[in-house]
Each structure stands twice: as C-alpha cells, then as structure tokens.
Chain A
C-alpha cells in the first residue's frame, strides 16, 4: 500500500515540497535581510518613538490572521496595479502579478519579520552595560563594539528569532496554495476538495516533517553560533 502511495504521489510530493522550501527560504532570507539591520538600527537610534512605531507595526502584522493577511496582500497588489495602470489594468495585465509566488512571499516575509526583529533588538539591548562601558573606555570604536561585542553576544538571540520564524513560515506556507503560490498546500487543497485522503496525507505529513527538521536544524545552529563562553554558562544553569 505504501508503495502504491509513493508511485502515485511521490513525484507530486517532491515537486511541492521543493516549492514549499523555495517559498520558505526566499521569505526567510528576505526577512533576515530586512529585520536584522533594522533591529540593529533601532538599538542605535535615539528616536524612541520610531522604535515603538516600528515594533508596533511588526506586532500588528503578527496579530492579523494568516488567511486574512494573504487576502490583504492580494488586495494590496490589486490596488497597486490600479494606481499604476488605472481601473482597466486587468485588460492588459497588471504591473505586478496579484496571485502566485510574489504575494505569497510578501505575506510570508511580513509574517516572519517580528520574531527576528524583536530578538535582534533585545539581543543587543540585553548586553551588559558595564561591558559596553569598558569596551568604550578601552578605546573601541562604535563599529568594533558592534561587531566584536554586541553582535556575537546577540547572535544566539537572533538565531532563536530566525528559528521561530522558520517554523512559522513553513506552517503558513501551506496556506499559500490558496493564492496559487504552490507548495504542499496545493496537495492539501486537492485532497480537501475531492475528498482524497492520500492527497491530504501527502500534503500534511511532509509539511509537518519539514517544520520539525527546520526546528532541529536551527536549534543546532543556535547552539553552534553561541559563543563558547556563553554556551557553557547555559549548561551550568541547567
């Protein structure tokens, strides 16, 4: 029976799992590129209001239900098309695709921003002020303090943020099938619409596995990136 399952769906699973990973990786990559530098900037800026505004925006995005966020992204893209191409935009095709991979990735990026942003910010803010004062007093430049003190000490936090985001993203990416972005969600949707249990299993189980594998991998990465001087302190505490 298992053999039958794989001859029928093996290919589908492989293709959709690949799409799924593709969506996840690209979104995470973009989210990291935006959130880490932004998080660092927020720790350095003196504009406390700006910090609050940005953190709140990231927080609000997080509270929007996933499906609603996907729908919102599509709506947003349609609006952009209308602004660019007028109300008849759909006749000669919009400036940007309103369904598919692009809105899918956009929604995923928006969703994964907050954990990375928040962890980068707190990771750096948590660095012992006396350590920073001495670093300054010994003649380190701001850049040296950031690269050799603050970032190494914040790295475990930042990785933890990326870990949370990656597990979320894998979960949420299953919904991207709804807007035609592909991924394992497609298989689930087929299964649901046509009442085929094998399709449902072919979509859900790999998605769950991917999430578990990612969690494990990122957990290992987190440990590996923790500076040894902090790694052992953690062990001691346990």
Chain B
C-alpha cells in the first residue's frame, strides 16, 4: 500500500532527519512510528503527503511514486490529523468535518449525510454538535472532531501525528479505545506517530522504532518487547518493559491455561466474572482488583471453556510473570 524505498530527508546541509529508510505498510495495517522528539518520526509521515519532500529515495502510494501525483490531489485522498488538531475556529464542527468533501465538490446532501455519519462514528450526537464552534468543545471532543475530519472523505490512507498527545491520560485512554474500535471497523491503512510506547503497543499492528532518523526495529509489539533488536531498543523500552509485557501478553500465553484448554470441558456453573483468552494480563489484573467474584470464567470468544478459582488464576499469572522476569 505504502512503500518507503531508501528514503532520506535532509534539512539544510547539516541536519539529516531521516536516514535511508525502507519499509512497507500493508493494506489495512496500522503502523506506529515510535520515537523520542526529534527522532524524525513526524518527518516520516509528512513525506507521504508531501508536506515535506524527500531528499533522496522514493515513496510509493498504491504502487505509484508520490512524485507522479499532484500534491493537492494526493493530500485530498490521504486523511491527516495532528496533535494540535488545527480545527478551523471560524467553521462549525459540521463545516470542519466537511472540509475535504467540500474540496472534492461532493453534493451537499452526500456531504451532510457523511458529516452525521462521522459524528456518530466518533460518538458525538450530530444534532447536538454539528452547529457548534470549536471553542465550545472540550479538548477530547476537539480531538474526536479532528479524527472525524480526517476520515470524512473516506481516504484509504490515514496519517496521524500524535493525535492524542495533548490530552489528559484518562481522556486519552478513552480516545484510544474509540479509535481502535473505529480502526477495526474501517481498516484504514494508517501511519501513526507517537512518543508514548503504551499507545504504540495498544494501537499498533507493527511498530517502527526510530532514533535519530534511523529505523531501529520494525516488529509486532510483542516481538519488540520479547526480542529487542539492539541495545537502543532495550534501553528505550527500559524499565517499562514489564508493564508493556502485561499489555502484550495474553491469557492464551500462559502455559497452565494451554494445558487446561486441552481438558474436556465439564459442565460449569455460569460464573459472575469472566475473561477472554485474548485479554491481556493487565486486563486480568484489573479485573482481580475490581471484582468480588470468587470464580472466574475463561471464554474462547463467546464459549465458556473453564471456570477457575480467582486464587488459582492469580497464582498462575504471578508464577508466569516471575518466570518471565527471571528469564530477562
């Protein structure tokens, strides 16, 4: 879908923001560019819609070199959302969302319908929000409108530059969940820039860790955490690795659970609390904190496969984590 081939970007003669980057983003994939500020991650995505031009190398979008596109046309088919949102203060929410459809001369009815769909998608009531102005919105609402606006013309590709960066942590989690839901539904090819590794792990299908313009590692989140490619990746993840592992490890990964799965299912009483096999260990631990239920059911998708004592499950997980730490 998108291909970087030996791409470099220099600002002036001295500063090389991106060095010889080659990678490929598959269709419907969400690739996260992760790195500290100044690592060149933002430059990477700005080159895709030609807000920055490559100094050398080539970028291909849908098999065609972006230099062959008219930059204006190229940008109109790529959704774009940034950290500072940049809502047009003199446009209503509806007009903001309709920006690209209007640039593409959509018919008014089609645009209006699309605006409402988009507002529903980001879970804001259309009749309540459509005619508001940006100053009448909270930070989180603005951010949702920013995402809705980037999706309005139904682009195949999305570029997101720390879209949830300037938001308080609690709202950020809600927005991330909301965005994941949308992404699972729409399956846009997305390039997502962030410096927050938790966000990267949570959202990314794959993560490209970048430092000083160099690609350090490009892998699935769990691989990144289990097998850091080099010292830099290890240091970058640093003390957070344990917490990150809680996010990436699933109930499925527990050896004892794998064994349990093979046992013949017995008739079980419907438990009060339950976990899916694909839930992360973090979710399990959070459940233990909040539930008073003594029995916890394990579900393979919708099917109950086993009911365990809470105590038992806690000990399985802690044993697993103990071993994991010891092996690191």
Residues of A within 8 A of B (CB): 128, 130-141, 144, 149, 152-153, 227-230, 232-233, 236
Contacts and interface: CB of A to CB of B under 8 A. Distances in A.
B75 A131 contact: no
Interface in B149-181: 149-150, 159
B267 interface: no
B91 interface: yes
A234 to B, nearest CB: 10
B89 A153 contact: yes
Nearest to B93: A229
Contact of A135 (B84, B86, B135, B159): B86
Given A229-B135, A233-B135, A138 B51 contact: no
Nearest to A127: B89
A136 B133 contact: no
A229 B100 contact: no
Contacts of A138: 75-76, 80, 99-100, 103, 149-150
B104 to A, nearest CB: 9
A135 B75 CA distance: 10
B55 interface: no
Contacts of A144: 103
Contacts of A130: 82-86
Interface residues of B, number: 29
B303 interface: no
Contacts of B84: 128, 130
B73 interface: yes
A153 B133 CA distance: 14
Contact of B51 (A128, A131, A133, A149): A133
B232 interface: no
8 contacts: A128-B89, A130-B82, A130-B85, A133-B86, A137-B75, A141-B72, A230-B89, A232-B133
B90 A228 contact: yes
Contacts of A152: 90
A66 B7 CA distance: 61
B90 A229 contact: yes
B88 interface: yes
Contacts of B91: 229
A141 B72 CA distance: 7
Q: Which 6 interchain pairs have the tightest Cβ spacing?
A: A227-B90, A134-B86, A139-B75, A139-B76, A130-B84, A229-B133
B49 interface: yes
A128 B90 contact: no
B134 interface: yes
A230 B89 CA distance: 7
B157 to A, nearest CB: 12
B90 A230 contact: yes
Nearest to B85: A130
B89 A139 contact: no
A227 B87 CA distance: 14
B75 A136 contact: yes
B115 to A, nearest CB: 15
Given A130-B85, A138-B149, A236-B135, 16 more contacts: A128-B84, A130-B86, A131-B87, A131-B88, A132-B86, A133-B51, A133-B86, A137-B82, A138-B103, A139-B74, A140-B72, A149-B88, A153-B89, A229-B90, A230-B90, A232-B135
Contacts of A136: 51, 75
B88 A137 contact: no
B133 A135 contact: no
Contacts of B278: none
Nearest to A226: B90
Nearest to A137: B80
B92 interface: yes
A153 B89 CA distance: 8
A132 B88 CA distance: 9
Most buried by B among A131, A138, A227: A138
B76 A131 contact: no
A139 B92 CA distance: 19
A226 to B, nearest CB: 9
A131 B84 CA distance: 8
A136 B76 CA distance: 10
Contacts of A236: 135
Interface string B50-69: 01000000000000000000
Which of B75, B86, B150 is packed against the most chain A CB atoms within 10 Å? B86
